[in-house]
Amino acid sequence: MDATLTNDIKRLHEIIDGAERAVLFTGAGFSVPSGIPDFRSAGGIYDGEFAGYSAEYMLSHECLTLHPDLFFDFYKSHMLYPEAKPNAAHFFFAELERKGKLLSVVTQNIDGLHQAAGSKRVWELHGSVARNRCEKCGARYDEAFVIASQGVPRCEKCGGRVRPCVVLYGESLDQTVLEGAIRDISRADVLIVAGTSLAVYPAAMLPDYFRGRELVLVNKTPTARDGIATLAVYSDIAEVFGGEG
C-alpha cells in the first residue's frame, strides 16, 4: 500500500470517528469481498451478452413479462449467491450503528448482507432477493424457494408466478424507501459513498441531498462526483475496512 493511500484511509477513519450522524451509501463493489461479482467493471455481470441480450434487458420488466423462462434462467444463475457472507466492511458499519454513530445504510445492493451483518436501519433502493411475492395472490416466498424452483417459480397457493421483490429495469423505485433514504442523507453530518460508480439513476443523484460537512467516496476507480467530495479513496472495500470477514 502506497503512502498516499495509507494517509487517505487514515483520514477516512478520522472522519468516521468524528461523525455523529453518518450515513453509508453502498453499491455492488461493497459486496465483492463477499464473493458477489461486480456489475459494471470489466469482466462484471454487465460486460457481455446473454442469449443475444444485454444483462440490463435480462433484468428488465419487459424480459420478465415477455420471456419469463429466460429471465429466471439468468436471474437464478447470475443474481443469487446464497453462500455469500457479510465481509469485514459490513460488520464494521453494523458496529458503527450499534455505537449510535451511523444513522442508516442506503444501498443499491439486493443481497441482504448489511442486515446479515447486523445493520438494522437499511434502505434497500432496489429491493432484495430475500423477498419474493406471487403476482396473483401476493403470497410471500424466500430466496430458497426461488432457488429450488424449476423454471419459472409458481405459487404453492394459487399457481401464480412468483417474482423477486427487486426493482427491475423499467420499474420505479419504492417511493417510501427513496424518501427515507433522502431524509437520512439530508440529516447526516458525514456521507460515505462506497463501492459504487454512481452511474445508475435515480440512485446516483442521492448525494445531491447531502448538506453535511464530510462527503467521502470509496471506490476502485474515479466517479463523476469526486470533484465535490471531501475525500476520494481509490481502493477496494476490503483494503479500506480491514480485509475480508
Catalytic residues: 126
Considering only CA atoms, which of 13, 18, 16, 44 is closest in space to residue 29? 44
Helix (H) or strand (E) holding 67, with range, is: none
Whole-number Å distance between alpha carbons of 25 and 29: 11
Residue 72, exposed/middle/buried by CB under 10 A (0-12, 13-18, 19+)? buried
Find all residues with CB under 8 Å of 9, minimum gap 6, and list them: 233, 235, 239, 240
Question: What is the DSSP annotation of 84-145?
Answer: ----HHHHHHHHHHHTT-EEEEEES--S-HHHHHT--SEEETTEEEEEEEETTT--EE-HHH
- List the grid coordinates of 88: 469485514
- In whole angstroms, how far apart are CA 197 and each of 41, 80, 89, 100, 194? 9, 22, 18, 28, 9
Find all residues with CB under 8 Å of 64, minimum gap 6, and list them: 71, 163, 168
